[in-house]
Amino acid sequence: MNASESEISYSPRALKAKAYFEQGYNCAQSVLLAFEGELGIAPETAAKLSSSFGGGMARLREVCGAVSGLFMTFAAMYGVSDPKDSEGKASQYKDLQELAATFREENGSIVCRELLGLTRNTSDPTPEKRTDDYYRKRPCGELVACATQIMEKYIQNKESNA
């Protein structure tokens, strides 16, 4: 993130998402689990649905898992279910592109490998062990909190404009 961690003021829900990450959940799981109460799904279901999106989608280092979790949260709350609803799809994609742009503006990218400063993606499917050093060198906890706050602000704006 651009600001140092000490300058950042996280919401309680963002801290909850960060805590999920620190418990060992991947970035996508952490964001989605932070909203599971509003989604009407069991935490285990939320964790399973988002389990493949860690490490930039199965450790491929593509789209950041925090962004994927934000998108899954949005879809569960506001997604389009009618395949013929072209207007609804366009509106959803517009909003998601704006949310992704906000994340990109705050963090420099929405791509996992770029956020981690890696020069290439990886095909190694084995997650790294979650040690104190792992958490110290990774921005993932802050990225999860950021994505959560972006979604929170979207929800607040949507509710205040309703």
**Predicted TM-score (pTM) of this structure:** 0.91
CA distance 150 to 133: 27
Residue 3, pLDDT > 60, answer no
Mean pLDDT of 17-37: 97
Between the alpha carbon of residue 58 and those of residues 31, 86, 93, 153, the distances in Å are: 16, 30, 23, 28
CA distance 92 to 48: 24
pLDDT score recorded for residue 103? 98
pLDDT score recorded for residue 131? 86
36-77 pLDDT per residue, tens:
989 999 999 999 999 999 999 999 999 999 999 999 999 999
CA distance 142 to 116: 12
Q: Which of 27-36, 75-84, 125-134, 150-159 has the lowest mean pLDDT?
A: 125-134
Rounded to 5°, the CA angle 63-4-30 comes to: 40
Residue 29, pLDDT > 80, answer yes
